[in-house]
Amino acid sequence: MKTALVEGARRGAEPGLKGVCPGCDQPVLARCGKKRVWHWAHKVECNCPLNKEETDWHRGWKNHFPVEWQEVFHSDINGERHFADVKTKNSWVLEFQHSPISSEERASRNKVYGKITWVVHLYRQQETKRFFEMANGGLALPGHPYTVIVEKKGNYLLSDWGEGIKPVLFDIEGNEVCWLMLPIENENLAYFAKVKKNDFINLHISEDQNCGYTKLLNHTFQIISGVLQKKKGNARKVKLPPLNKPSVQDTLGYRVVPRPRLSRRRRRF
């Protein structure tokens, strides 16, 4: 892990420092070798939420953000300790996922953190290939080439991540452009905004008073509902994927006719 408590303060590992794990209160060792990035390690095996091996990908993502945003403590209603990989100044929790995670664990973290975005690493050749097969078969919205609707059908990645409950950013190895899946629940379709990795990071870091990231989500959402409304009135001009002919209501997971309170609740940002 990146930081431990040294005389009550969060510090990175340095030679000679003695630390305590903020997750389990056990003593931890400062590992300051030449091969790996300096880090803290538990002295004994335990079930501590911070006792996990991190990949370079995971650490790399965390290090794009200030150290005080990393490994932020949360307690759930049962008093169980959780540590958000990153929690931004606008209270967005970012969880970086390199390996598979059970749907129970995912649901539990969704609940604990509420305002969460998953960042999922796609690095296996086969899964990257399948992702692009699916993504490239999608429909870029007219006038909005970075907003894409795709069919989930048969894609195992989306059977895992495609619930549309929370935003999911797919970080595809070797690609600067990530695919951000919007939190819109739909059985057949998934809605994406293509965003550069650096832009995603900067939207969280920028000093803008309003959260740039939330603005991006809202903006994309408005584009989608705008196009679908248009579709209702002028189906011939706007071509959408011919999927069991979902109604506008089904497609967005809620009514497009403005009903602010309902839509805010269902979007779950």
Identity of the amino acid at 40: W
CA-to-CA separations, 225 to 146, 151, 236, 257, in angstroms, rounded? 15, 17, 17, 9
| 48 in contact with Zn ion (CB under 5 A) | yes
Q: Which residues pair with 254 in a beta bridge?
A: none
Q: Which residue, chain included where needed, has tokens 């510090």? A: 11
Which listed range, 47-55, 61-69, 91-99, 188-196, lies at the site for Zn ion (CB under 5 A)?
A: 47-55
Closest CA to 93 of 77, 108, 78: 108
The smaller minimum CB distance to Zn ion, of residues 4 and 157, is found at 4
Closest CA to 168 of 119, 214, 113, 108: 119
Which x/- pattern over 11-30 shows residues binding Zn ion (rule: CB under 5 A)? ----------x-xx------
Site for Zn ion in 56-95 (CB under 5 A): none
140 phi, psi to nearest 5 deg: -75, 135
Which listed range, 45-53, 140-148, 183-191, 250-258, lies at the site for Zn ion (CB under 5 A)?
A: 45-53
CB 77 to Zn ion: min, Å: 21
Which listed range, 46-54, 195-203, 209-217, 252-260, lies at the site for Zn ion (CB under 5 A)?
A: 46-54
CB 112 to Zn ion: min, Å: 18
Positive or negative: CA dihedral 80, 86, 92, 93? negative
- Token pair, residue 34, equals 């030449």
The smaller minimum CB distance to Zn ion, of residues 21 and 211, is found at 21
CB 21 to Zn ion: min, Å: 3
CB 5 to Zn ion: min, Å: 10
Where on the chain is the footprint of Zn ion (CB under 5 A)? 21, 23-24, 48, 50
